[in-house]
Structure 1
Amino acid sequence: MEASDVAVGTIFLAQTVAGALGNSSLLLHYLVLYFTGCRVRHTDLILQPMIVANFLTLLCKGDPQTVAAFGVKIFLSDFGCKLLFYLHRVGRGVSIGSTCLLSVFQAIKISPENSTCSELKLNIPKYIGSSIYLSWILYLLVNVVFLMYMTGRRSNKNITILKNYGYCSTVHQDSTTHSLHAALLTFPDALCLGLMLWASSSMVLILHRHKQKMQHLHKTSSPRSSPEYRVIKTILLLVSTFVSFYTLFCIFQVCLSVIYNPNWFVVSTAAIFSGCFPAVSPFLLMNRDSTASRIHSAWVQNRKNANHVRKIYII
């Protein structure tokens, strides 16, 4: 085993473990909030499926890549390769869709009352659940193509191989079919990326106008101290992180498409960038608000409600 394989395997292992711990901590955060009776925010409903999608992305890609990097090349059957690649792509797609939905929701939420989004601003919370279900259904259907041409390495003796992913391979496709599959898989991601860029630009513009207005009115309070500003800052950081890693991933993905038989370095680097966002995103979201602060706020609100009810009863 070469030193480069050990280094790549260590990176995959560290990325998978860190991402799993981060997403587990975030999941535990929401479980604690649920059992303590805290109010569920609309953004929480969007982030919860993102956690599940991050788990799928990391475990279905990071684990086999780690095993393959440490020298075990043939350990999956055809069914195992198809299932892992399919679940990885579904998880990655839902993670992208959830990030897009989160940024669009926040951009519409902070839009001015006299904007074109004013009517949608009142109704968008009703569409969150259906949008999440639609995202899962869309990526479950779109990524069915991976079930058609993924194959395990142990059954590749009589098949012309197009791409070798270390532990799985893709069978040969003609150029027309390959182009159609690429367009089908790329269109939802490109649409989500465009919506995220629009939402981020809108939020930056709205914050800039609000800051100028506050300075003009000589207000002493800063918008930076408001919870809404912290949420917007976190979402903008999340979107910029996604766009950065997604751009790097696309560069290596293009190399995989162009090169007939790519080497192990290109395949591994593309896989590493594919897992960066699911591994990093939970740590960015943890800075939004802590479990203790949410529980304390819920406890204070419950005390106020109890005192109010007691006063009414006394009166």
Structure 2
Amino acid sequence: MFSLNNILYFQAGLGATANIFLLFFYIMITLCHRSKPMDLISCQLTFVHIMMFLTGGHAWLTGFFVSLNIGNDFICKATAYINRVMRGLSICITCLLSVFQAVTISPNTSLLAKFKHKLKTYMIYSLFYFWSFNLSFSINRIIYTGAYTNVSETSQLKVTKYCSLFPMNYIIRGLILTMTTLRDVFLVGVMLTTSTYMVIILFRHQRQCKHLHSISHLRASPEKRATQTILLLVIFFVVMYWVDFIISSSSVLLWMYDPVILTVQKFVMNAYPTITPLVQISSDNRIIMMLKNMQKLCYQIFKKV
């Protein structure tokens, strides 16, 4: 268990650092007026992932709030609610990013082309709707989460060292699970559909350009690399999200707590927020150029010293 916790802390540290770096980058390019339309969505997703790491039930965060003399019950309700909102926003904004990427690269003759001229407006409305929906939908976490007590232990589902879920009516529990499942199935379906559409477009473009390139050059073409990145991120997100969903749903339905399973669930839940910024950093030429310039600047400074 000790080693699993070490891995969990390392993952959280790596993911939080990468996302914070990416957030500062998006803020900087936005202030410099060099941002792309998709940067707004990516910035939101990065912020959401940072909040997921901060409210992921880590003992150090709870200990910090306790040192400020803030009640455990308030801490549990606040962190559980924010984390649930952020988890919902993660899948919603990832789906939005996939949809808007598909619209952006769609041919001018396609049905999606007519949405291009109002892309920014739709983007703002969509983000506002997703935030409003998830803030409202996750309100049950405030009601049914609280500080763990030794009284009536069998009626509580311990989810962290300090916090637990209180028993809820079977009808309410089933309704929440059904609505969450419907939301996730719909969003994952849209994500897979738009990603498949983008893959088809990229392959068509690759085929059209085939006669202009040698086979060796074609294997390393930007279109193929973009296709592989899209497939990797979508498949990875879908697998990690549903493994996390199955574990968390099973724990609530069966009303069971296992510290090892909980640690594994946290690792799975944080896998996507950890990998995403690393992929974005390595694939964004603007970041690569900025890092190279910083490296040159540091080298010149040390050389003068």
TM-score by length of 1: 0.80
Q: Contact 1:102/1:235 (CA < 8 Å) preserved in 2?
A: no
Tell me which structure has the larger Cα radius of gyration: 1
158-167 vs 190-199, which deviates more?
A: 158-167
What is the alpha-carbon distance in structure 1 between the residues aligned to residue 291 and residue 17 of structure 2? 22
Match of 2:109?
114
1:81 aligned counterpart, secondary structure: helix
1:174 is aligned with what amino acid?
N
For residue 257 of structure 1, report the CA deviation from its aligned partner.
3.1
Q: Contact 2:103/2:112 (CA < 8 Å) preserved in 1?
A: yes
Any idea what the Cα deviations from partners look like across 1:5-57, whole Å, max 9, x if unmatched?
x123212211211111101111222233245x252101101011111100111
Match of 1:164?
158
* Residue 45 of structure 2 corresponds to residue 50 of structure 1: yes
1:287 aligned counterpart, secondary structure: helix
2:283 aligned counterpart, secondary structure: coil
* Residue 262 of structure 2 corresponds to residue 263 of structure 1: no
What is the alpha-carbon distance in structure 2 between the residues aligned to residue 131 and residue 223 of structure 1? 37
1:114 aligned counterpart, secondary structure: coil
For residue 229 of structure 1, report the CA deviation from its aligned partner.
6.8
* Residue 188 of structure 2 corresponds to residue 193 of structure 1: yes
Q: Contact 1:86/1:143 (CA < 8 Å) preserved in 2?
A: yes
Match of 1:219?
212
Match of 2:300?
none
Aligned-residue Cα RMSD (Å) equals 2.7
In the TM superposition, what are the counterparts of 1:83-102 in structure 2 within 5 Å?
A: 83-102=78-97
TM-score by length of 2: 0.82
Where does structure 1 differ by over 6 angstroms across 4 or more consecutive aligned residues? 65-68
Match of 2:301?
none
What is the alpha-carbon distance in structure 1 between the residues aligned to residue 274 and residue 25 of structure 2? 17
Match of 1:22?
18
* Residue 152 of structure 2 corresponds to residue 146 of structure 1: no
1:98 is aligned with what amino acid?
I
For residue 269 of structure 1, report the CA deviation from its aligned partner.
1.5
1:20 aligned counterpart, secondary structure: helix
Greater relative CO, 1 or 2 (CA 8 Å, sep 6+): 1
Percent identity between the aligned chains?
Answer: 28
For residue 193 of structure 1, report the CA deviation from its aligned partner.
1.1
What is the alpha-carbon distance in structure 1 between the residues aligned to residue 80 and residue 144 of structure 2? 11
Unaligned runs of 5+ in 1: 69-74, 297-315
Match of 1:309?
none
Q: Contact 1:149/1:171 (CA < 8 Å) preserved in 2?
A: yes
1:169 aligned counterpart, secondary structure: strand
Q: 1:254 to 1:248 in 2, by over 3 A?
A: same
Q: Contact 1:16/1:63 (CA < 8 Å) preserved in 2?
A: no
What is the alpha-carbon distance in structure 1 between the residues aligned to residue 171 and residue 229 of structure 2? 42
Unaligned runs of 5+ in 2: 64-69, 293-305
Q: 1:222 to 1:18 in 2, by over 3 A?
A: same
What is the alpha-carbon distance in structure 2 between the residues aligned to residue 270 and residue 283 of structure 1? 21
Match of 1:103?
98
1:281 is aligned with what amino acid?
T
1:20 is aligned with what amino acid?
A
Any idea what the Cα deviations from partners look like across 1:238-281, whole Å, max 9, x if unmatched?
32221121122123224313433232222222222111111221
What is the alpha-carbon distance in structure 2 between the residues aligned to residue 249 and residue 149 of structure 1? 20
Match of 2:297?
none
Q: Contact 1:256/1:262 (CA < 8 Å) preserved in 2?
A: yes
